């Protein structure tokens, strides 16, 4: 196939979105933006990106940031292992590379949370090193350009596509080329729905466009269906604030805060949940005596989708007298809920209740 770079780059320079990390593509900025964008749309990630850098302008600041603050800066973005790995890597960078990311693909690849794609993006965009950066967007573009129905979840197919990416990469502008491919995948060669071939600078070269097969490509194995898990949630309010519980140090949402909850549990009645709270050492007002005899308030059902599991949450809200928080829990007033404790997006509905309804 004729080289795609001239037409692709001409299109990119005319059409690329103005994004903060493009204005100043320092290695730290590119790294942070790529990690944020791994599971998050550009429009959702950008306010986080700006806030994060305002608070932690250097890699040394990131390395030294207290955990609670770090979680708070990431609150609502999800996939918190990303930010924990960012900090682990920042600490290594400070210890081994004087606080600056190394201009070396393999060294970047060796840092926590940095895989082939992110190392390729940083190396090519920030350091001008001619290496590929192949994500889902780029695989889709190449599956269509070459009209290749290989399964992109197969490592051998991914390697073959990566070789094609490399063959077309211009040595003088490797980063622009990688960015242009990602941008084409995000804006024109769309993942869901019909690609905008009429606007595509590569339409004259594209095999799938000629064959009318673009909508069937790329081929990939369907992910397994998600497991559904019932989760019981208690919102407990005392004069000291709302009761929050810290999650364990490992696993899903490690180290973050949540309302008191019981995984894989359904309580049939508010009484049963109240009993479970008492077993944790939390005294609550009798549910059926609340508000002059009315029942404990049922919480709205909520669900949250993680990559492998879907939580379906339900429970009640209780009033409680002032008392010490049990082990692993705190009472958080509104100000602390806002500024100190990071509650994952899974609890958005309940956080809103805690902040607005009292
Ligand atoms: S012509 Fe259409 S299918 Fe081919 S690369 Fe462009 S947008 Fe994608």
Instruction: Give residue 357's pLDDT.
Output: 55
Give the β-pairing of 329-332 and 227-238.
unpaired
Q: Which atom of ligand 1 is nearest to the CA of 184?
A: 7
DSSP state of 98: T
* Closest among 69, 111, 71 to 90, alpha carbons compared: 111
- Give the number of the atom of ligand 1 that is nearest the alpha carbon of residue 217: 3
C-alpha–C-alpha distance, residues 151 and 221, integer Å? 7
Q: Which residues contact 303 (CB under 8 A, 6 or more apart)?
A: 310, 311, 312, 313
CA 140 – ligand 1 centroid, Å = 9
Q: Decide if 58 contacts 93 (C-beta within 8 A).
A: no
pLDDT in tens, 87-130: 999 999 999 999 999 999 999 999 999 999 999 999 999 999 99
144 close to ligand 1 (CB < 6 Angstrom): yes
Given this model, what pLDDT does residue 76 score? Answer: 87
Residue written as tokens 């369907």?
222
214 Cα: distance to centroid of ligand 1 (angstroms):
7
Contact between residue 326 and residue 332 where contact means Cβ atoms under 8 Å apart: no
Q: Look at residue 283 in the predicted model and tell me its pLDDT.
A: 92
Length of the chain (residues): 358
Per-residue model confidence as pLDDT tens digits over 183-206? 999 999 999 889 999 999 999 999
Q: Taking the model in full, what pTM does it have?
A: 0.83
What DSSP letter does each residue of 307-356 carry, written as one string?
Answer: SSEEEEEEEEEEE--S-PPPTTEEEE-HHHHHHT----GGGHHHHHHHHH
H helix or E strand, kind and range, residue 355: helix 348-356
Q: Which residues are catalytic?
A: 34
**Which two structure tokens, joined as six digits, stand for 95?**
């210890």
Give me the torsion for CA of 35, 36, 37, 43, rounded to 10°. -160
If you search the block for the tokens 């309010």, which residue do you land on? Answer: 237
Query: Before 110, cis peptide (omega within 30)?
Result: no
Tell me the pairing of strands 227-238 and 309-319. parallel
Decide whether any atom of ligand 1 lies within 6 Å of the 139 Cβ: no
Please choose, from the candidates 167, 170, 301, 279, the residue with its C-alpha nearest in 3D space to the C-alpha of residue 228: 301
Atom of ligand 1 nearest to the CA of 141: 5
173 CB contacts (<8 Å, ≥6 apart)?
5, 9
Structural domains of the chain, with CATH: 5-216 (1.10.340.30), 227-356 (3.90.79.10)
Centre of ligand 1 from the C-alpha of residue 43, in Å: 24
Span 33-75, pLDDT tens digits: 999 998 888 999 999 999 999 999 999 999 999 999 999 999 9
pLDDT-wise least confident of 100-104, 107-111, 140-144, 334-338 = 334-338
Is the beta carbon of 309 within 6 A of some atom in ligand 1? Answer: no
Section 162-173 average pLDDT: 97
Query: In the structure encoding, which two tokens stand for residue 320, read together?
Result: 């409680």
CB atoms within 10 A of CB 85: 15
């Amino acid at each position: 196939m004729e080289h795609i770079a001239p037409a692709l780059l001409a299109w990119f320079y005319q059409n690329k979105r103005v994004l903060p990390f493009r204005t100043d593509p320092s290695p730290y900025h590119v790294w942070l933006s790529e990690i944020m964008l791994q599971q998050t749309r550009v429009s959702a990630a950008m306010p986080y990106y700006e806030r994060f850098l305002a608070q932690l302008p250097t890699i040394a600041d990131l390395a030294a940031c207290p955990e609670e603050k770090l979680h708070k800066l990431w609150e609502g973005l999800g996939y918190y292992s990303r930010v924990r790995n960012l900090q682990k890597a920042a600490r290594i960078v400070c210890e081994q590379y004087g606080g600056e990311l190394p201009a070396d693909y393999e060294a970047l690849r060796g840092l926590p949370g940095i895989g082939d794609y992110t190392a390729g993006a940083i190396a090519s965009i920030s350091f001008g090193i001619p290496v590929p950066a192949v994500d889902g967007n780029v695989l889709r573009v190449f599956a269509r350009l070459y009209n290749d129905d290989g399964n992109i979840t197969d490592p051998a197919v991914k390697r073959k596509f990566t070789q094609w990416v490399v063959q077309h990469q211009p040595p003088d502008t490797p980063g622009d080329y990688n960015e242009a491919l990602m941008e084409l995948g995000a804006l024109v060669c769309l993942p869901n729905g019909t690609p905008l071939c009429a606007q595509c600078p590569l339409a004259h070269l594209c095999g799938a466009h000629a064959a009318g097969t673009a909508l069937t490509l790329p081929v990939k194995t369907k992910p397994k269906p998600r497991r559904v898990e019932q989760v019981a949630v208690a919102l407990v309010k005392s004069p000291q604030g709302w009761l929050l519980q810290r999650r364990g140090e490992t696993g899903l949402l490690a180290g973050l805060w949540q309302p008191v909850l019981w995984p894989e549990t359904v309580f049939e009645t508010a009484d049963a949940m109240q009993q479970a709270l008492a077993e944790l050492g939390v005294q609550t007002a009798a549910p059926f005596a609340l508000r002059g005899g009315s029942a404990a308030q049922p919480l709205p059902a909520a669900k949250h989708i993680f990559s492998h599991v879907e939580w379906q949450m339900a429970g009640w809200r209780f009033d409680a007298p002032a008392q010490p928080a049990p082990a692993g829990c705190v009472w958080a007033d509104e100000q602390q809920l806002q500024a100190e404790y990071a509650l994952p997006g899974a609890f958005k509905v309940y956080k809103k209740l805690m902040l607005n309804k009292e």
